Amino acid sequence: MRDPSITEFDLVVFGGTGDLAIGKLMPALFQLELDQRLPPGSRIMATALSDLGRAAYIERVAASCGQDGTARDADLWRRFTDRLDYVALDATRQDAFGPLLERLAGREDIVRIFYLATSPDLFGPITANIGAVRLATRQSRVVLEKPLGEDLASSGAISEAVGRIFEERQIFRIDHYLGKETVQNLLALRFANALFEPLWNNRHIDHVQITVAETAGIAGRWRYYERIGALRDMVQNHLLQLLCLVAMEPPISLDADAVRDEKLKVLRSLRPLGEAEAATQTVRGQYRAGVSDGTAVPGYREEGGATADSNTETFVSISARIDNWRWAGVPFYLRTGKRLHQRNSEIVIQFRAVPYFLFAGARGEVRPNRLVVRLQPNEGIEFLMMNKVPGPGGMRLRQVPLNLSFADTFKSRNPDAYERLLLDVVRSNQTLFMRRDELEAAWRWVDRIREAWDTLAEAPKPYAAGTWGPSAAIALIERDGRTWHDIE
């Protein structure tokens, strides 16, 4: 049964031959076709500089979607490819838009989506040309992939350039982490259950850990990563967005601006980290050669195209504070890095210990309750609580999990984040997309840290690939009498 909120649309993907378009967007769109979520008459047009024909482009998409011509979904694949087209053009040249204009002519009344899966330095020129050739309509939306600049100034320049053609209501700044089912369930967990929200404050929560760990290295992206680094690549968007969802006040509704207003308050409440604070409350690291997933891997400075004197961080750990009544005194420990021990993204809510321990003489270590929200690789929610071990022999206590695995509980496929987010663009639902003032508040906080690092002029601390990062990151949290959840 089709969703009436998903109306007919034309989707134009700039950068259509890139890894994002081929590896993420097209498989997500094909899955929506399999789920019969794409309305009849909707079309998908990829554009790029490559002089490919439509048939050659479809072959590339087929490989990424697992289609070899004998698949059981052959009819659906044919229906999907009937929607799919490819236009070779240089989107930075206004006079190159003729073929795209021809394909979109006469369809000005339907939803028209421009997805900019390109380098951010092209966002301004591409949107300027979209405006110049009059492709932008009242029904248009534009989707911007991260990174949205390299600092507040460059981010503002992009916003200004895109804002000359599109209104803020038409701009969708995407962060695929916010489309994950577990992240969405965090809102339901907090605001649809009476159990947690009364405890969601500094009287009951000791600290929060947010980790986004990757086992992969730079994978041929050294020149890009060298310019950006882990702070701007991951903390400024993914980790701060997760922090906002944990720390925000209950919105008055799930209206996009109501939710984003509350997230903005969190970002504005983050305590700035100047030079003195950055020296003690942040850790920068850079991976060296080591063993990852049982395979010897090179260090960051030994990757293809690398230079031997790079000081770009591939790991960041931060002890952050939110200065408001709900969270005063509660540290938020943020951590992200490349070539870490395992691929793992999670939010850990550590509750305080019971005020008085009743079970004197009981055997077993007594631990405070802990809520673990797993974002990847196996999405789910786990609540760790103390329990008596069954059987005689006195009071023996053990911490055991109440485990909600989405795969086991709902017995259904867990949709990819891009599937949800693409449909939200069609619906014009901006709840999961960053507003400009939200983006700028995040950049202000991150820029302050970056400036402090530049002043301190300390090299990133080395760590072996396949470990949990530099030892200083462990010391960062253990100085406060706490330990990272996954290395206890």
- Tens digit of each residue's pLDDT (9 = 90 or more) over 312-347: 999 999 999 999 999 999 999 999 999 999 999 999
Beta carbons of 287 and 314 less than 8 angstroms apart: yes
Catalytic choice (176, 207, 238, 485): 238
- CATH no. for residue 151? 3.40.50.720
In this structure, the answer to whether residues 116 and 55 fall within a common structural domain is: yes
In this structure, the answer to whether residues 119 and 182 fall within a common structural domain is: no
> Total domain count for the chain?
2
The H-or-E segment that residue 372 falls in is strand 370-376
In this structure, the answer to whether residues 260 and 347 fall within a common structural domain is: yes
In this structure, the answer to whether residues 196 and 169 fall within a common structural domain is: no
In this structure, the answer to whether residues 379 and 458 fall within a common structural domain is: yes
**In the chain, % of residues over pLDDT 90:** 70
Burial 203-230 (b: 16+ CB within 10 A, else e): eebbbbbbbbbbbebbeeebeebbebbb
Ramachandran class of 209: left when φ > 0, alpha when ψ lies in -120 to 50, beta otherwise: beta
**How far is 286 from 222, CA to CA, in rounded Å?**
13
Give counts: helices (H), strands (E), the chain: 16, 17
Does residue 425 form part of some domain?
no
Q: Could you report the per-residue pLDDT of 258-317, keeping only the tens digit for each?
A: 999 999 999 999 999 999 999 999 999 999 999 998 899 999 999 988 898 999 999 999
Structure tokens that stand for 204 in this block: 């009951």
Beta carbons of 337 and 230 less than 8 angstroms apart: yes
Beta carbons of 461 and 286 less than 8 angstroms apart: yes
In this structure, the answer to whether residues 246 and 98 fall within a common structural domain is: no
Beta carbons of 465 and 341 less than 8 angstroms apart: no
CA 346 to chain centre: 12
* Tokens 């700044």 found at: 173
Structure tokens that stand for 364 in this block: 């077993």
**How far is 117 from 25, CA to CA, in rounded Å?**
9
- Residue 480: how many CB atoms within 10 A of its CB? 12
Domain with 406 in it: 178-414+435-487
Quick one: pLDDT at residue 88?
94
Average pLDDT score over residue span 341-355: 92
* 361 vs 183, residue with greater confidence: 183
Structure tokens that stand for 8 in this block: 């007919």
Q: What is the pTM of this model?
A: 0.92
In this structure, the answer to whether residues 369 and 281 fall within a common structural domain is: yes
In this structure, the answer to whether residues 136 and 258 fall within a common structural domain is: no
Beta carbons of 211 and 341 less than 8 angstroms apart: no
> Which phi and psi (to 5°) does residue 394 adopt?
90, -175
Q: Is 238 an annotated catalytic residue? A: yes
In this structure, the answer to whether residues 54 and 166 fall within a common structural domain is: yes
Average pLDDT score over residue span 101-122: 94
**How far is 296 from 286, CA to CA, in rounded Å?**
17
Give the 3-state DSSP-derived string for 36-95, with helices as H, strands as E and coil as C.
CCCCCCCEEEEEECCCCCHHHHHHHHHHHCCCCCCCCCHHHHHHHHHHEEEEECCCCCHH
442 closest CA partner among 257, 258, 239: 239
